[in-house]
Structure 1
Amino acid sequence: MSGMPGHTGGAVLTADEPSAAGTASAGDCSIVTRGLTKRFQGGQVAVNSLDLAVPRGSVFGFLGPNGSGKTTTIRMLLGLVAPTSGSWELLGTPMPAGVSGVLPRVGALVEGPAFYPYLSGEANLRRYDAAGPSADPRTAGMRIGLALERVGLAAAARKRYRAYSLGMRQRLAIAATLLGPRELLILDEPTNGLDPQGTREVRGLVKEIAAEGTTVFVSSHLLAEVEHMCSHVAVMRTGRLVAQGPIAEFRELRAGEAVRIRVESPDTAEAAAVLAALGLDEIRLGDAEVSAELGAEAPERICAALVADGVAVRGLAVQRPSLEDVFVGLTGKGFDVDG
């Protein structure tokens, strides 16, 4: 496969192919890493030669089972942990040399929010804002108000944090990352521990932020969240990147399975004969249905041929391997698929 991963229409890059970051244009990407590696004391390799290319304006899912190196990678990107080797750029600027100029343009939520429970949401944000070295205290009220409005908490601004729901708490944490204009948002497990309602709230918020032009980098072990939120994805396994690219193209990896077409019909023998005449392989007959490998045949042509031959078609569907199938094939283990 060829093409720059991360760009719409580009192919998914797997671990045995040339580095994406090696050919990435920094101007096209919000995050680029080249050979980024972290070894801890005792020789443990948490992140091993990571090459990432995160396109500007994307919602980029950084997916992997717990312990695959996602949080360590984020800590390196933000300068919280020094890499053992390799290099990286944020917003087109080499790091860590450009940290003072870049980080004010980056919002980050790492390993969950931390707020004072007896203070209101607004009062908590005032403390976050005051900690910013470039924050002008004269405009703090305006920044805080805008951030609360952006995450839908303006009406709950004076409500104590301890009375917030899980979804409201996570939205307040995201508001803390938006106290200034941000070109890049890095969120580490933003839906971790949330109930379904809170998960939907955060998912919708991420989409809204991305629609405004901010690149959102989302680390998660929840497959369903990545599938619902993200335009692009990278998959980690035990510290190594195994694939990255547009999420729509991950299904093309197929996890060793072929795309099949399934026809619901009482006329299974007749339907099977039509599929065979069209050259389809691996035909399987079931109870009131027949399926076959789709190959290069267009589904609409198959449907037209069935109808033209007098086969009663109750339903016709193209069956592709699920993202769960693909990711399990890439990582060798399952993901939490709950949203």
Structure 2
Amino acid sequence: MTAVTLDAGAPFGAAPPSARPAIVTRGLTKRFRGGQVAVDALDLSVPRGSVYGFLGPNGSGKTTTIRMLLGLAAPTSGEHELLGLPLGEALPRVGALVEGPAFYPYLSGEANLRRFDAADPTAPPATVRRRVAEALDRVGLTAAAGKRYRTYSLGMRQRLAIAAALLGPRELLILDEPTNGLDPQGTREVRSLVKQIAAGGTTVFVSSHLLAEVEQMCTHAAVMRAGRLVAQGSMASLGGGQVPRVRVRTPDTADALRVLRSLGLADVRADGPEPGDGVSAELGGHAPERVNAALVGEGVAVRGFAVERPSLEDVFVRLTGEGFDVDG
């Protein structure tokens, strides 16, 4: 299937590094022995300052792509660029969490971060205390800094892993399934943290197989299926092929249909045979509040009023003709 690219990126070398996308790939491909193709001619363009969801079922090639981006696996063919720089220059500006956190269970969160920091040859030892404290504060773990890692909840462990990725100034943060295995509370914690990090100017590239998580967290997304890119773009543009609908719950079906048609809404129809089933229509460019005001002004008893926009699941099904597990 041909990928649908809704936001084009600048080619390599076409602009200064600071003006280029945070991540660009051109034809990035990974084949394993036996001919298995894990990633097939991937063309990504990740805008700076975005929270970019890298979405696909387990086994769709997300982790393999991330490993190639970080230099942990060599591509079979193609090229990629981080922050408009060669990989060696870019990596000190990139934080990453790949395939789950690994910490010493009997050391405190603070002591674990000190060990991570000591492994970074570019980190100045004189400022380790300040940087560890800032990273812990940024992820909301200052109060738990002295507690042993084995006492941390799953959400706290993921936050500590993100803190390890933020020990230095980062322009790009790459997170591989950061909410994997978390309970709803832990998932909310990580989602909130990602949004806070992005608000500070860091581009966040986050892979996930959970459609709902990407929809709540991200400004842009790419959809993978069996190693191939299906679509990419802003969340608004990905939903551009389907028109929002307004649904009105009312016993006054005939009058509601008349008002919606008089406003020029398209595909106006009753939602069921009974009077209380309500009506719906394509909203188009009409403001929902004006539609509601017109209904009330014409004496329609509005018991419920909702605007339904296409979900990411709707987009995925439209592009691929199939779905995948949206709950994990």
| Length-normalised TM-score, structure 1 | 0.86
Q: Matched residue pairs, number?
A: 319
Q: Report what 2:312 is aligned to.
A: 323
Give 1:23 shift: 5.1
Aligned to 1:10: none
Q: Which residue does 1:36 correspond to in 2?
A: 28
CA shift for structure 1 position 17: 5.5
Distance 1:130 1:299, change over 3 A: closer
Alignment partner of 1:310 is 2:295: no
Counterpart in 2 of 1:140? 128
CA displacement at 1:213 relative to structure 2: 0.8
For the residue of structure 2 that corresponds to 1:62, the secondary structure is: strand
Distance in 2 (CA, whole Å) between partners of 1:199 and 1:18 is: 29
The reply on whether 1:235 has 2:223 as its aligned counterpart is: yes
| C-alpha spacing 1:120/1:306, structure 2 compared with 1 (3 Å) | closer
- 2:270 paired with 1:284: yes
Question: What's the CA shift for 1:143?
Answer: 1.6
**Map of 1:179-328 to 2, 5 A cutoff?**
179-254=167-242, 258-279=243-264, 280-286=266-272, 287=274, 288=276, 289-295=278-284, 298-300=287-289, 302-328=291-317
Secondary structure class of the residue paired with 2:107: coil
RMSD: 2.3
Identity %: 73
Rounded Cα–Cα distance in structure 1 between residues aligned with 2:289 and 2:105: 58
Report deviation, 1:41.
1.1
Corresponding letter in the other structure for 2:99: E
Q: CA deviation at 1:92?
A: 0.6
| Residues 293/45 of structure 1: CA separation in 2 closer, same or farther (3 Å cut) | same
TM-score normalised by the chain length of structure 2: 0.89
1:106 has 2:98 as partner: no
Q: Is the 8 A contact 1:222 1:335 kept in 2?
A: no
Q: How far apart, in 2, do the equivalents of 1:156 and 1:90 lie?
A: 34
Q: Residues 192 and 18 from structure 1, CA distance in 2 versus in 1: closer, same or farther, beyond 3 angstroms?
A: closer
Moved more, 276-285 or 230-239: 276-285
**Alpha-carbon distance in structure 2 between the residues aligned to 1:308 and 1:19:** 42
> Is it true that 1:124 corresponds to 2:112 in the alignment?
yes
Tell me if structure 2 keeps the 8 A contact 1:63–1:226.
yes
Q: Which residue number in structure 2 is paired with residue 8 of structure 1?
A: none
Measure how far apart 1:304 and its partner are: 4.6
